[in-house]
């Protein structure tokens, strides 16, 4: 989602349909307490590859146990699991998260060319009292993160951003090293629309970054899964990922996930592996979860700046977000 590097540093990207490799189909609608994923045991010496064909003899089942699950049966800010902004360091005063000049720093990534500000009912912007803006709507166990054009009378109060939208992160609330991380969602489309589910290191550093899912809003059905890391000797950012064609992604719920093993990252669509990469250097700390709906980009292909065709309102529908840890005891049996 840190899109400023995507254009210049993407070392491998291609468009493909989702391959059918035959993973275990554990109740795709739900998040069972335990489940197995079918993975390859090929040596993880491949820097980055699409899993278009897999040697059946190399496949094994990896047992997992659930460690986190959010079904969105209630407002996401009511249970203490999520925060509606990017978190900061110890020097950032608590009050600054909720308003005042400069508070928009934690509510958008300006370097990407984003044109939204992430709001929540407590946020005041430049006003003296909370604005009561809520981009999070829950109905029948589905969370909708709604992005809409900023009311003209609130433009100056909200730092002249074109849209208001929402972000949820678990930094300081939940983070995990290794395991399987999954979202079940419909991916919205439209000019300048940029939905994402991704992960960052809980210590606040960047990279590493794992983009489990990003939607290219101006290319319906085109989804991208990407890994980002830093080369220590040069300090340059490297990225590697692939696009996948999921034709009904905007109208049908699908599962998008990543399995983080000690030696590799494996990306999944509907619990079938679609790409993998040897774990790059720097993936040392637990990672936390982020889900958001950005509007506008300078660098991310398929997401341009806001224009007259950008929708007045658009929703990122999320059925659930889950995390699993690898059950090493079961795996050894």
Look up residue 307 and give its two tokens: 């224009």
Give the number of other CB atoms < 10 A from CB of residue 251. Answer: 12
In what order do the strands lie in the sheet containing 287-295? 15-17, 237-245, 222-230, 209-215, 193-201, 287-295, 167-169
CA atoms within 13 A on the CB side of 69: 14
Cα distances from 193 to residues 148, 190, 255, in angstroms, run 11, 5, 20
Q: Which of 114, 182, 209, 272 is catalytic?
A: 209
Please indicate whether residue 74 is annotated as part of the active site.
no
Please indicate whether residue 309 is annotated as part of the active site.
no
Exposure string for 109-141, b = 16+ CB within 10 A, e = fewer: beebbbbbbbbbeebbbeeeeebebbbbeeeee
Cα distances from 213 to residues 56, 79, 200, 226, 259, in angstroms, run 27, 25, 13, 8, 13
Residue 37 to residue 57: CA distance in whole angstroms:
15
Q: Which of 114, 214, 218, 317 is catalytic?
A: 214
**Residues marked as catalytic:** 209, 214
């Amino acid at each position: 989602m840190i899109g400023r590097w995507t254009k210049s540093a993407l070392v491998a990207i291609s468009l493909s349909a989702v391959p059918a490799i035959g993973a275990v189909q554990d109740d795709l609608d739900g998040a069972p307490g335990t489940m197995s994923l079918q993975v390859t045991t090929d040596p993880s010496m491949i820097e980055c590859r699409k899993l278009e064909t897999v040697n059946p003899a190399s496949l094994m089942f990896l047992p997992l146990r659930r460690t986190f699950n959010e079904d969105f049966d209630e407002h996401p800010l009511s249970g203490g699991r999520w925060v509606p902004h990017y978190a900061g360091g110890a020097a950032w005063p608590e009050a600054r998260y909720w308003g005042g000049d400069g508070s928009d720093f934690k509510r958008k990534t300006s370097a990407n060319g984003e044109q939204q500000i992430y709001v929540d009912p407590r946020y005041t912007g430049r006003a003296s009292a909370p604005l009561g803006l809520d981009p999070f709507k829950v109905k029948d166990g589905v969370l909708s993160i709604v992005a809409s054009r900023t009311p003209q009378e609130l433009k100056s109060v909200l730092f002249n951003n074109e849209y208001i939208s929402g972000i949820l992160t678990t930094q300081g609330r939940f983070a995990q090293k290794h395991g399987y991380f999954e979202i079940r969602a419909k991916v919205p489309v439209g000019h300048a629309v940029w939905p994402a589910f991704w992960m960052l290191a809980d210590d606040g550093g960047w990279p590493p970054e794992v983009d489990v899912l990003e939607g290219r809003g101006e290319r319906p059905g085109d989804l991208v899964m990407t890994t980002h890391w830093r080369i220590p000797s040069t300090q340059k950012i490297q990225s590697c990922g692939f696009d996948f064609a999921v034709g009904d992604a905007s109208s049908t719920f699908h599962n998008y996930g990543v399995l983080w093993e000690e030696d590799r990252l494996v990306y999944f669509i509907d619990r079938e592996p679609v790409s993998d990469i040897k774990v790059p250097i720097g993936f040392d700390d637990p990672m936390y979860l982020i889900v958001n709906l950005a509007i506008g980009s300078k660098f991310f292909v398929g997401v341009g700046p806001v224009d007259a065709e950008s929708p007045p309102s658009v929703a990122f529908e999320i059925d659930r977000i889950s995390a699993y840890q690898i059950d090493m005891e079961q795996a050894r049996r």
